[in-house]
Structure 1
Amino acid sequence: MNDDSSAAALAGSLRRELHRFSGGEKLPSNRTLVERFGVSPVTVSRALAALAAEGLVVTRPGAGTYRASERAALPQTVDTSWQQVALTAQDPEDPPRVVDASGVLATLAPPPPGVIAFSGGYLPPGLQPERALGAALARAARRPGVWERPPVEGLAELRGWFGRDAGVGPAQVLITAGGQAALTTALRALAPPGAAVLVESPTYPGALAVARAAGLRPVPVPVDADGVRPDLLADAFAASGARVFFCQPLFQNPTGAVLAAGRRRQVLDIAHAAGGFVIEDDFARRLGHGGPLPPPLVADDPYGTVVHMASLSKPTAPSLRVGALIARGAVMERLRAIQVVDSFFVPRPLQEATLDLVGAPAWPRHLRAVAAGLRERRDAMLAALASELPGLAPDPAPAGGYHLWLRLPDGTDEVALAAAALRAGVAVAPGRPYFPAESPAPHLRVSFADTTGPEEITEGVRRLASALAQVIGANSRG
């Protein structure tokens, strides 16, 4: 076994040899394992930690590692069919609660080996600031008091940093455990169970999942190339009695649309006239491809109508689960109370590391690298689509974000196409889960972010074209 052998491989070798030791018997020392397998001490420590987590060995500091005593037999399989009744039984007057994570899991599940990921929602490792994150976390961990309880609203300095883009002070900012947690808190704070909540159509599936799990009724409001249509938004408020509208004004997921300048004030006026709130999901603020961006909607809000969401997971790394809610007025106290009840607060070490990261000189350089990397990947996908699938390329191309929304030929079975594409070696997302009601046409969402670059993107589009030809051919034969 070489020096760079993985801890998993070493753990497998040791696992196979444990039968040689009786319960409580001491295993060879770490030094002996290093010499025998030709690995580093760190690899040995990680392998033994993995076995300890499985309950196979016990590590005693200063004494060594021992085989664990024989574990009691696992309990027999029990009949849990009763749970189907318990989980669904409810008062007929109560709103239905549907907990469906499939739309979210589609973007979180890693593709099988050899499959090109056009379905992801995060930056690839090459664009993540891994070294800067590691250094920031290490510095934060050494800071005095870092393991003490932070203010429940979050560190004042971090709240101030999030508030600057919105033109508000720290008192109007609540630090959250990422964007999804912020969305859950906002919907629970603003809409009672059974209420209607207006959403763009199409929209982010995670918003639909959160709303339905809370017993809310998502009501679609169509979007076009300039974002949500104000005339239909006013109609939807009046017809549904809703008091909440969820939207993504900047590089909307999945269409990539930016809310037109002439519609921004209209949206605010319509919501205010209805006595409602606008939840602004500003997830793509730091995913622009270069060029000026409009300010957040909350920055132009004269009423206190907007509850603004921001997150750092998209422009950094999936595990940096740090975000913010921005609101003015009494609603902030409700947001704060709900988060405290749910999770107390966001861990202080993560907040300290985030503050260190965004305050470092490397942060602007990282954002420029992200913009260049996304722009290169977007252009490569557009070029490949123009060559392989010329009728599918969107026009105009999005100026930010990490995905394209492809309108498929009428009659295309998008689910069959996604399955055929996966067999061909490329993972894509069918459009149906993005619609809160009936889908008006077949679509695919293809992400270009989580790829190694133009060469992989070109190959992925070629595989997608082959899958589409196969599906269309099957339909014509049928």
Structure 2
Amino acid sequence: MNDDSTAMIVASLRTHIAASTPGTRLPSTRALVAEHRSSPVTVQRALRVLAAEGVLESRPGVGTFVRSAPTAKAHDYGWQTTTLGARTSTPARLPGALTEAANDVISLHGGYPDGSLLPERLVRSALARAGRGPTALVRPPVAGLPGLQTWFAAELSAATAPGNSGPTAADVVIVPGSQAGLSSILRAVGGGGRAVAMESPTYWGAIAAARHAGVTVVPVRSSATGPDPADVDRVLAESGARVFYAQPTWANPTGAQWSPQRSQDILDVVRSHGAFLIEDDWAHDFGIDAPARPLAGTDDSGHVIYLRSLTKSVSPAVRVAAVIARGPVRGRILADHTGESMYVSGVLQSAAFDVVTAPAWSTHVRRTREHLRARRDLLAGALRSHAPEAAVDAIPSGGLSLWVRLPEGSDAGDVASRCQDLGVMVGAGDDWFPTEPSGPHLRLTYCGADPGRYEEGASILGEVLRDS
């Protein structure tokens, strides 16, 4: 029988159900077959349609009955107020960088590279091999697969200053993405309500991780060249903080890269306070005009806790990162990581290791840098031509975004909202300040889809700013 027959039976039974009281038993399947001159299969199909709509219920061995309509009532979850108690962390809204954009929208707000900038062939092949390999069926070591640990250690050792001893695989803890790694670090060395110093502006995820770790964030003003060592010294002295979170290489969102001298001066300050510096080397693979220079390469006394992720450069689906720490602090971080997530999927670790050790990986990284250079210059040029009111004080030599200063008195949130209404998504700079914003800014990324629409996006932004 066809769908028309099913529909006719469904319509007939709806009439029957409407005239029946809840609990009324329907005629048997045999009776319905005879009444509608249909096959048992067609009748059963009609009954399944009505059961899915919630108007019938089947009782095996007894029959099919008209279901009573549920009584609408308001849900009362008030009991949870007492059980949950006072909020233990500052509520945080979903940051603009994680807001999904419709297909026809010009996306200048997201922080993850478009698929065209990722090593798709390498990733797909690596995941397929990992799924067939032994890591698909066994628990990996809690600190990570030895091969991947060795690779991360060797990468940092390559940047180690002459005379310093580089890290070893035993210093590496593999974590499920840099966000999880940062959370473990902050809980392990800055928890218990203690103060943690952070650059301002800084990565919104670090601010969120600090909130969840229950630490008190103390901002250190930063600029296109990084924070002033004197400010770092003052903040550590006045706050008593023994942890300083920073991004010395192409900071998100400012794009700042510390000079070798500034790196050394800040490290000296951190050492003088007996503190830790958390170095988030998130953009290691996104150098454009200059290579990454990890600050951790100049430290072999355990003051720098180094964090590097492969999530953005390999694939958002491969959430694998490494924390490199030396001395007792590494054990504390490992213990926290184990309590939080036990271990990282062996399949993902194996796939990540496969990708970064493939001969084609270095070629991919080099080509990605060339693409990013073209995209960065295209967006910067579009802003100069169509939105000169949006000032880019410094073109970053790496990373994925431009930090844009708006005219004095502008409301960054309002600008972002009006741009979105016109089909362009931009990141309001407020998300990147641990406390109050020091001025109106936008973060505009050049790693999203369709760079051919940068001119259009900049033109819309310019119109919004001129109408403000």
Q: Which amino acid aligns with 2:457?
A: G
Offset at 1:448? 1.1
Q: Does the CA-based 8 Å contact 2:202-2:253 persist in structure 1?
A: yes
| SS of 2:142 mapped into structure 1 | coil
* 1:11-410 matched pairs, under 5 angstroms: 77-89=74-86, 96-103=88-95, 106-167=96-157, 168-294=167-293, 296-410=294-408
TM-aligned CA deviation for residue 265 of structure 1: 1.5
For residue 239 of structure 1, what is the amino acid of its counterpart?
E
Which residue identity lines up with residue 149 of structure 2 in the other structure?
R
Paired with 1:309 and 1:140, the residues of 2 have a C-alpha distance of 24
Give the C-alpha shift of residue 76 in structure 1: 5.8
Deviation of 1:203 after TM superposition, in Å, equals 0.6
**How many angstroms does 1:99 deviate by?**
4.0
- Larger CA deviation: 129-138 vs 248-257: 129-138
| Structure 1 residue 113, shift from structure 2 partner | 3.8
Give, as a single letter, the amino acid of the residue that structure 1 aligns with 2:84: L
Identity of aligned residues (%): 39
Q: What amino acid maps onto 2:108 in structure 1?
A: F
Give deviations 1:208-247, integer Å, cap 9, x for gaps.
1111122111111011222111000000001101111000
Q: Deviations over 1:87-120 (max 9, x none)?
A: 3427xxxxx52241423xx212211342111110
- Cα distance in structure 1, aligned partners of 2:254 and 2:372: 16
Three-state SS of the structure 1 residue aligned to 2:392 is coil
Residues 172 and 332 in structure 1, CA contact (< 8 A), matched pair in contact too: yes
Q: Distance in 1 between matches of 2:446 and 2:453?
A: 10
Give the conservation status (yes or no) of the 8 Å contact 2:194–2:241: yes
Write the letter of the residue equivalent to 1:111: A
Aligned residue for 1:255, secondary structure, equals coil
Distance (Å, rounded) in 2 between the aligned partners of 1:82 and 1:416: 38
Q: What is the deviation of 1:438?
A: 2.0
- Give the residue type in structure 2 aligned to 1:241: G
TM-score normalised by structure 1 residue count: 0.80
2:443 maps to a residue whose letter is: R
> Aligned with 1:228: secondary structure?
coil
Return closer, same or farther for 1:74/1:358 CA change in 2, 3 Å cut-off: farther
Q: CA deviation at 1:192?
A: 2.3
Q: Is the 8 A contact 2:389 2:462 kept in 1?
A: no
Say whether residues 1:416 and 2:408 are aligned partners: no
- Following superposition, the deviation at residue 85 of structure 1 comes to 4.7
Q: C-alpha distance in 1, partners of 2:103/2:394?
A: 33
Change (3 A) 1:292 1:210: closer
1:461 & 1:372 partners in 2: Cα distance?
22
Whether the 8 Å contact between 1:451 and 1:457 is mirrored in structure 2 is no
CA offset at residue 290 of structure 1?
Answer: 4.2
Q: Give how far 1:374 is off.
A: 1.0
Closer/same/farther in 2, CA of residues 73 and 442 from structure 1, 3 Å limit = same
Structure 2 equivalent of residue 60 of structure 1: none
The whole-number CA distance in structure 1 between the counterparts of 2:246 and 2:93 is: 20
Within 2, Cα distance between the matches of 1:219 and 1:75? Answer: 50
CA–CA distance in 1 between the matches of 2:8 and 2:434?
54
- Any unmatched runs of 5+ in structure 1? 1-15, 26-54, 57-69, 91-95, 473-478
- The CA RMSD measured in Å over matched residues stands at 2.5
Whole-angstrom CA distance in 2 between matches of 1:367 and 1:75: 58
Q: Gaps (5+ residues) in structure 2?
A: 1-6, 14-25, 30-51, 54-66, 158-166
Whichever residue aligns with residue 444 of structure 1, its letter is L
Match of 2:40 in 1: none
Taking a change above 3 Å as real, the CA distance of residues 243 and 421 of structure 1, as seen in their structure-2 partners, is same
- In structure 2, the CA distance between the partners of 1:19 and 1:87, relative to structure 1 (3 Å rule), is farther
**1:28: which partner in 2?**
none
Aligned twin of 1:29: none
Deviations 1:54-78 (A, max 9, x none): x99xxxxxxxxxxxxx9x9799652
Q: Is the 8 A contact 1:189 1:335 kept in 2?
A: yes
* CA distance in structure 2 between the aligned counterparts of 1:254 and 1:306, rounded to whole angstroms: 22
Secondary structure of 1:428's partner?
strand
d(CA) in 2 for partners of 1:17 and 1:392?
64
Give me the TM-score of the superposition, normalised by structure 2: 0.81
Q: Corresponding residue for 2:437? A: 439
Secondary structure of the corresponding residue to residue 219 of structure 1: strand
- Given candidates 436, 445, 457, the residue that maps to 1:460 is 457
Asked whether the equivalents of residues 197 and 236 of structure 2 are also in contact (C-alpha less than 8 Å), the reply is yes
Distance across 1 between alignment mates of 2:215 and 2:290: 38
2:132 is aligned with what amino acid? R
Which amino acid is 1:156 matched to? Answer: P
Q: What is the CA-CA distance between 1:83 and the residue it aligns to?
A: 3.0
**Structure 2: which amino acid aligns with 1:253?**
N
